[in-house]
């Protein structure tokens, strides 16, 4: 089975949810592509992430970060105290996961003129994106 997950929001909790689901599916042997597009891609490139309103408090963020860490998802910021998160490092840490492909949307890549340092995301062209979507058994937009 092949699945494409589309992550477009620059919300830390949205990226975490997409990563957690993609990793769980990949560990079961599914081929998963996680496509970063829109503001999620912009935030990974040079922008900023934010938390959804229910997780904005220090206690809310700390609880989510601690739970992610307990599940083996390295969300805590390595250089700061563990109540701070580092979404870019989390995404980067998934780059070598078996059956999981991290993809930069080529359409948004052109709109944003992506930094070449964003090398942990696969760079594909529009035709490859179309093929990826057309050949997927399942497409999930914004988990």
Q: What is the CATH number of the domain that holds 35?
A: 3.40.1260.10
**23 domain-assigned:** yes
Which residues, including other chains, have CB under 8 Å from residue 66's CB and lie 6 or more apart?
76, 82
- Whether 81 maps to a domain, the answer reads no
Mean pLDDT of the 46-70 span: 93
What pLDDT, on the 0 to 100 scale, is given for residue 87?
95
Residue 73 domain-assigned (yes or no): no
Give the span between the Cα atoms of 80 and 139, in whole angstroms.
36
67 in any annotated domain? no
**Domain count along the chain:** 1
Looking at residue 53, the DSSP 8-state letter turns out to be G
pTM, entire model: 0.93
In-domain check, residue 46: yes
Domain membership of residue 75 (yes or no) is: no
Which tokens go with 134? 């057309």
78 Rama sector, left if φ>0, alpha if ψ -120 to 50, beta otherwise = alpha
Q: Which residues, 6+ apart, have CB-to-CB distance to 9 below 8 Å?
A: 15, 38, 39, 40, 142
What is the extent of the structural domain holding 102?
2-52+92-141
Residue 79's pLDDT is what? 75
DSSP class of 54: G
Q: Is residue 70 in a domain? A: no
In a domain, 110, yes or no: yes
């Amino acid at each position: 089975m092949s699945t494409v997950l589309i992550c477009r929001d620059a919300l830390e909790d949205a990226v975490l949810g997409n990563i957690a689901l993609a990793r769980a599916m990949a560990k079961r042997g599914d081929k998963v592509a996680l496509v970063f597009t829109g503001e999620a891609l912009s935030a990974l490139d040079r922008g900023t992430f934010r938390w959804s309103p229910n997780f904005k408090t220090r206690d809310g963020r700390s609880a989510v970060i601690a739970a992610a860490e307990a599940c083996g998802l390295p969300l805590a910021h390595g250089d700061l105290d563990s109540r701070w998160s580092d979404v870019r490092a989390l995404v980067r840490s998934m780059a070598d996961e078996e059956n999981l492909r991290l993809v930069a949307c080529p359409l948004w890549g052109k709109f944003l003129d992506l930094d070449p340092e964003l090398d942990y995301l696969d760079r594909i062209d529009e035709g490859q994106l179309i093929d990826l979507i057309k050949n997927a058994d399942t497409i999930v937009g914004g988990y």
